[in-house]
Amino acid sequence: MKHFLRKVSIMLLFLMPLLASCSSLPVTINDYVLEEDNKLTVYTSHKEEVYSPIIKEFEERTGIWVQVTCGGTSEILEQIASESKNPICDVMFGGGVESLEAYSNYFVPYKYSEEEILDRTYKSDSCKWIVFSKLPIVFVYNNKLVYETAAPKGWEDLLQDRWKGKVAYADPHKSGSGYTILMTLMQVMGKDNWNAMVRFSDVLDGKILDDSSEVINEVASGTKLVGITLEESALKKIAAGIDITMVYPIEGTSEVPDGSALILNGPHENNAKLFLDFVVSKDVQRMIADYCYRRPVRKDISDLGVRSEEAKFIDYDINWASDNRSKILKKWDMLNQ
């Protein structure tokens, strides 16, 4: 593990610029043409600090050259769907599993070789995706502008008129976490409680962000007072010295994992399977727990540095969130035209 982490540090210093623009890597090096069996194409919705060291380590260990395309979860899934007659991608790396389930027709079943070691709280009955990390939904607030006693303690608090126009939230059409947040709200307040969605839309007052990465920045700058985001994002910013406080909603929250999936008829299936095994290997899972503030999905690795005792988790219904995606987003659009 020390050897792995040492190489990760070296890669972060010298190799991350290769992926900085998220553009595809070249398939020739000094006029040497890579053979097809040494290639892999990965589409990812992960931030660079998550995917880059993992991919570079995979390249070093296997000799496989990885081409990367990155973007928002929904954007990438739509791209996979549009390319389905002539797939370019081999692996979808990232995205909430309810979003992956909604696009499962474009994936092929794959069973991880050490599946018994994975947390089975969330699993794909069809084996069309595997979990990567668990990502609780939390609130954050600006410490300079919001007193602790006045900060929202839960979902019902957040829906009060006093927060109107002051909540940072990412578009559920573009952001996988934005969709998970909306589904978490609906499941906490009642799946058929459409009034909760109406109230949430009213509190946002038409001010919806394009990207989930903007949420904490809006809160930290004081543009918004409160934000809804991932625990991972909040813990990273707090560790970096950003003056915000993180809150687990008192009624409960979700810890829906993101996942990975094998693309149907992808051009490099064998290499894709190697990558899927790698991202849930013990080395990678320990690294994301120790350095990425993510909750691992392996039973043999603890949630290091994460205050899990403060959180109450709901029994999140992935199938409901997936099956009703189009219906829910249509209602959302009607409220936010």
pTM of the model: 0.83
Question: In terms of domains, do 144 and 230 share one?
Answer: yes
Kindly indicate the confidence band of residue 308, based on its pLDDT and cuts at 50, 70 and 90: low
Res 5: pLDDT? 43
Question: In terms of domains, do 181 and 266 share one?
Answer: no
Question: In terms of domains, do 128 and 222 share one?
Answer: no
Question: In terms of domains, do 105 and 214 share one?
Answer: no
Question: In terms of domains, do 107 and 141 share one?
Answer: no
Question: In terms of domains, do 68 and 113 share one?
Answer: yes
Question: In terms of domains, do 39 and 154 share one?
Answer: no
* CATH classification of the domain holding 174: 3.40.190.10
Q: Could you tell me what percent of the chain has a pLDDT over 70?
A: 88
Question: In terms of domains, do 18 and 100 share one?
Answer: yes
| Structural domain that includes position 80 | 2-134+257-306
Q: Find residue 33's DSSP bridge partners.
A: 28
Question: In terms of domains, do 314 and 288 share one?
Answer: no
Question: In terms of domains, do 242 and 262 share one?
Answer: no
Query: How many structural domains comprise the chain?
Result: 2
Kindly indicate the confidence band of residue 112, based on its pLDDT and cuts at 50, 70 and 90: confident
Question: In terms of domains, do 13 and 99 share one?
Answer: yes
Res 30: pLDDT? 46
34 versus 270: the higher-pLDDT residue is 270
pLDDT, one tens digit per residue, over 207-244 is 999 999 999 999 999 999 999 999 999 999 999 999 99
Question: In terms of domains, do 315 and 179 share one?
Answer: yes
